[in-house]
Amino acid sequence: MQRNKIGAQEVLLAVQNLLEGAAVVNNGGRLPPERELAQSLGVSRRQLRCALDSLEDQGVVFRHRGQGTFAAPPPLPDGGRHRFLASRISPDQILDVRLQIEPHIAQLAAKRITPEAAKQLETLMNNFCVAETTEALELADEIFHYRITELAGNPLYMEIYRLIRELRRRSDWRERRSEPNDPSLLKASAAQHKTIYEAISLGDGKAASAAVRDHLIFISNSITDKTEM
């Protein structure tokens, strides 16, 4: 069979190309079901699963039972409730909640970090540093902080963070962020991500907490400055 001649690297490249395609982007980042995807790529489901396992380990895709495989963390259900809440909450209020929980999340992540997780987090940090478009920047930032929350190992923190993420998507958050349009702010934000990564990878919970707090205060100030312009 022709599909048996396709190597693991070719399958990986095929899936990565698909992730960058408009069909996935326009479908909320959701990939087609495994059976359909394997048929379209001309590979076995076993080959596809191996490729997805590898990409998941790299933080490139996210798989959730009952929801499928995504190029970004999957959305929470009950979008109507989130739209209603987003209409009543401001980016400043979102940041206030983030300041209360994300420094501690980073501290927990530092306590639980492994060499493999540190390597993955470094890749995600670098993805943010090399992002060239607003969309790529937002996605890289989202995945970086999402992975830190996963590393914290507390399901309740993850649910809270996923809600925060949905509210960021539905509020005027993006319109008030300055970094995508200001090279100096983008450079500073990239440096802050590197500081967060370094503290977590070294297992320094106190430094990780402080780095996240400083980063969120920086974002808050950039939003305030843009509003006052």
Q: Domain extents for the chain?
A: 2-70, 79-228
The predicted pLDDT at position 42 comes to 87
pLDDT digits (tens, 9 = 90+) for 92-110: 888 999 999 999 999 999 9
Structure tokens belonging to residue 151: 């590393």
Instruction: State the fold for domain 2-70.
Output: Arc Repressor Mutant, subunit A (1.10.10)
The β-bridge relationship of strands 68-70 and 62-64 is antiparallel
Q: Which one has a higher pLDDT value, 133 or 78? A: 133
The average confidence (pLDDT) of the chain is 82
* Confidence category of residue 2, pLDDT binned at 50, 70, 90: very low
Contacts of 85 (CB under 8 A, 6+ apart): 167
* Confidence category of residue 224, pLDDT binned at 50, 70, 90: low
pLDDT digits (tens, 9 = 90+) for 161-204: 988 888 877 655 555 554 555 778 888 999 999 999 999 999 99
- Distance, in Å, from the CA atom of 203 to the CA atom of 108, rounded to the nearest integer, reads 9
Classify domain 79-228 at the CATH superfamily level: GntR ligand-binding domain-like (1.20.120.530)
Residue 3: pLDDT over 50: no
Contacts of 136 (CB under 8 A, 6+ apart): none
Would you mind telling me the total number of residues written for the chain in this entry?
A: 229
pLDDT digits (tens, 9 = 90+) for 71-98: 777 766 665 566 677 677 888 888 999 9
Percent of the chain having pLDDT more than 90? 33
Percent of the chain having pLDDT more than 70? 80
Residue type, 86: A
Structure tokens belonging to residue 71: 């190029």
The predicted pLDDT at position 1 comes to 39
The residue among 89, 94, 1 whose CA lies nearest residue 43 is 1
Q: Record the pTM.
A: 0.77
The predicted pLDDT at position 23 comes to 55
The predicted pLDDT at position 6 comes to 61
By the 10 Å C-beta count (0-12 exposed, 13-18 middle, 19+ buried), 226 is classed as middle
Domains 2-70 and 79-228 alike in fold: no
The predicted pLDDT at position 80 comes to 59
The predicted pLDDT at position 4 comes to 46
By the 10 Å C-beta count (0-12 exposed, 13-18 middle, 19+ buried), 103 is classed as buried
- Distance, in Å, from the CA atom of 163 to the CA atom of 178, rounded to the nearest integer, reads 23
